Amino acid sequence: MKIMVPNEKGITEIKLDWNSLYGKLKKGTYRIVKDKDFVTLYSDPFEVK
């Protein structure tokens, strides 16, 4: 498992390829949720421009 470390501005970037699951995402705001054993570990919106 790769440990994610924020940069000097406190931002952690994760590049994800959704094409295999959803095809190309249309412009808009989406939310990514990471959970384990029914507990949300992370939830944040992101924008596709």
Query: pLDDT per position in the chain (49 positions), as tens?
Result: 567 788 999 888 877 888 888 899 899 999 988 888 888 888 889 898 9
Model's pTM, two decimal places?
0.55
Do you know the residue count of the chain?
49
DSSP conformation class of 15: -
* Distance, CA of 33 to chain centre: 7
- The residue ranges of DSSP E strands in 4-38, in sequence order, are 28-36
Q: List, in sequence order, every residue forming a beta bridge with 33; answer none if it has no partner.
A: 43
